[in-house]
Structure 1
Amino acid sequence: MIRCPLRNKASAAERWADMGKVRGTVVIIGCGDLGTEAGLRFAEAGYQVQGWRRRPALLPAPITGVRADLGGALPELPADTQVVVFAPAAPERSVAAYEATYLHGLARTLDAVDARPGEPPSVLLVSSTAVYGDAYGAWVDEGTTPVPSTPTGQVLLQAEELLRRRRPDGRILRLAGIYGPGRTRLIDQVRTGTAAAGASITNRIHRDDAAAAIAHLVLTGAPPGTYIGVDDEPVEMSDVVAFLAREMGLPVPGPRERESSRGGNRRLSNARLRSTGFRFAYPDYRAGYRSVLAGQGQRHP
């Protein structure tokens, strides 16, 4: 399996060893592609890792798969659970699917956390920058009031508020557009000539950096609260499309806008995430997409 090395692994492991903590189990709820990459990083740091999902047999070692469905009763958490990462993906982009996955699923997860005796594990919720509305190209950070422009974004914000009510010590990581191995939609659109080369601002993060950020916030004991997970360079979509076209030896598309209800027009700041000591393997879209085009990394099912 070819993967990028664990970022911050040595410092995180050393810090926990110095603190005399006994590493227990990390449970990743909704352990898909992103959760698997995060789980592998926790395993490298010395944790036992359980991945809860409908098809646990798809998970690679050393992650232990556990069959679980957010639509019903969840299994009991292991007695030595220290961390719960909630990182599912809704099966479709509808309000009903988002409510079932992110809102009701998170509530069931927190019920399972509450039912576990002893010291409660830390909880990290993987959310989305879709909770922000259109900022007309202005900068946005964790202090910006979220005003979702879509019904699904409103559900995500409700899930965040649920976590804050029940676990004020929890962490929320709002990720922007994740790309990487197996996430090649824009590359495919450039190849087929269907990519929109508009002037709106887009914010992105490579899958490996998103997974590393999840592990980093937990392993380094970053302060509770909300973090934005994006790379260093908000950029016009036209620049990304032109870059990909040149890298693939294709004609650069002319300007062509396509309305989108998802991306918003905003520049997202990663300053708070970086202030914790996090360092990106792919600090901008050029480094990240070159890696994808070169076929580096591996997508997990």
Structure 2
Amino acid sequence: MELLVFGHGYSAGYLTPLLTARGWRVTGTTRGDPDRVAAAGAHPLRWPGQEDEVRAAIARADAILVSTAPAEGGDPVLAAFRDDLARARPAWVGYLSTTGVYGDRQGGWVDEGSVLDGSGPRGQARIRAEADWQTLARAHDLPLHIFRLAGIYGPGRGPFQKVRDGTARRIIKPGQVFSRIHVEDIAQVLLASILSPAPVGIYNVCDDDPAPPQDVIEHAARLLDLPVPPAVPFDQAQMSPMARSFYGDSKRVRNDRIKRDLGVSLRYPDYRTGLAALLAAEDPASHCH
């Protein structure tokens, strides 16, 4: 069995070992970091660059995972390989989207049936990409599954480094909540879906505990036994436009479907269990006392 990953990055790096342990071969495209792809246990292909090899991989893939962000003109995978995908016969196609497609709900709950109201160019681009993939899937009977990922954290992508080096801030915007997900839980959701495809599936991938971002920073500081970083009002905070745009959306995301339909039991159901595990993995000695 073979999985082809378009854009073999952080999340695919955690899925790959789960599949290779089951005897799968994983091929992953990368713009320029084949060593990182190979280190995860996948066979790297450069794309752009090795289009013929990518086409051959599409033709033989049992499963295809799309982990590339939309570009100016739409989805880059569809732009380059639409005809090859139309001819392919995988048992599973997965598209990694984002909960940004729901837009701002002022802290309210959304589920997979909620209206897509993504704000700003990134949310709108994701909505269009989802629709383009669904159009292709309907026209050519492709078993498409869409995964709307919340904010991803995990090894190397947690708040600890910023807390340690003194650059973390607790930015306070009243009523602001985010949903998040540990990368290992993304991998197990994808694995469960690949092993029992159920098109046409759309799944929110997030933990059980949407929380204000400042609470996560404060908890990280307490775990490290370091001073809690200062509170900064949102309207006074110096932030990049990208960082600021994340605060434009406040919502709580339901995850019942991954549990009910995929039988997933989250390893890290909230940020507290996730951060404790990250810290323990960093420093096994921290759990000796």
Question: Shorter-chain-normalised TM-score: which range?
Answer: 0.7 to 0.9
C-alpha distance after superposition, 1:64-122 (max 9, x if no partner): 1222229977721334311100012x5xxxxxx7336x613334244322244xx3442
Preserved CA contact (<8 Å) 1:74 1:108: no
Counterpart contact for 1:70–1:105, Cα < 8 Å: no
The one-letter amino acid of 1:288's match is G
186-195 or 51-60, which deviates more:
186-195
CA shift, 1:46, in A, is: 2.4
Give yes or no for contact 1:98–1:152 (8 Å, CA) kept in 2: no
Q: Which residue of 2 aligns with 1:69?
A: 48
Q: Given the superposition, is the C-alpha separation of residues 32 and 61 from structure 1 closer, same or farther in structure 2, using an over 3 Å criterion?
A: closer
SS, match of residue 170 in structure 2: coil
1:5-30 deviations in Å (ceiling 9; x for gaps): xxxxxxxxxxxxxxxxxxx2110111
1:56 to 34, 37, 56: 34
Q: TM-score, normalised by structure 2?
A: 0.82
Which residue is 2:8 aligned to?
31
Aligned ranges for residues 107-256 of structure 1 at < 5 Å? 107-116=79-88, 119-168=89-138, 169-184=143-158, 186-191=159-164, 192-198=166-172, 199=174, 200-253=176-229, 255-256=231-232
Secondary structure in 2 matching 1:215: helix
Q: Aligned in 2, Cα 1:106/1:74: closer, same or farther, shift over 3 Å?
A: farther
Report % sequence identity.
Answer: 31
Indicate the structure whose relative CO is greater, using CA pairs within 8 Å and at least 6 residues apart.
1
Do the aligned partners of residues 277 and 43 (structure 1) sit closer, same or farther apart at CA in structure 2, a change above 3 Å counting?
A: same
* Mapped contact 2:8–2:30 kept (Cα < 8 A): yes
When residues 293 and 136 of structure 1 are mapped into structure 2, their CA distance, relative to the original with a 3 A threshold, is same
Kindly indicate whether the alpha-carbon contact (under 8 Å) linking 2:169 and 2:230 is maintained by their aligned counterparts in 1: no
Distance in 2, matches of 1:222 and 1:289, equals 32
Code of the residue aligned with 1:141 in structure 2: it is: D
Cα displacement (A) at 1:289: 1.0
Aligned to 1:11: none
CA contact (8 A) 1:196 1:258 kept: no
2:72 equivalent to 1:99: yes
Distance 1:43 1:110, change over 3 A: farther
Gapped runs of 5+ residues in structure 2?
236-243, 284-289
Identify unmatched segments of 5+ residues in structure 1: 1-23, 91-96
User: Where is the helix percentage greater, Structure 1 or Structure 2?
Assistant: 2
1:171-224 C-alpha deviation (Å, 9 max, x unpaired)? 11010110111113x333433254234241121111111122122211122342
Change (3 A) 1:49 1:194: closer
The size of the alignment, in residue pairs, is: 263
Distance 1:267 1:235, change over 3 A: same
Separation (CA, whole Å) in 2 of partners of 1:208 and 1:67? 25
In 2: Cα distance, 1:211 partner to 1:110 partner: 26
- The whole-number CA distance in structure 1 between the counterparts of 2:280 and 2:179 is 22
Paired residue secondary structure (1:252)? coil
Contact 2:146–2:202 under 8 Å retained in 1? yes
Distance 2:230 2:40 in 1: 46
Cα pair 1:114 1:120 within 8 Å, conserved? no
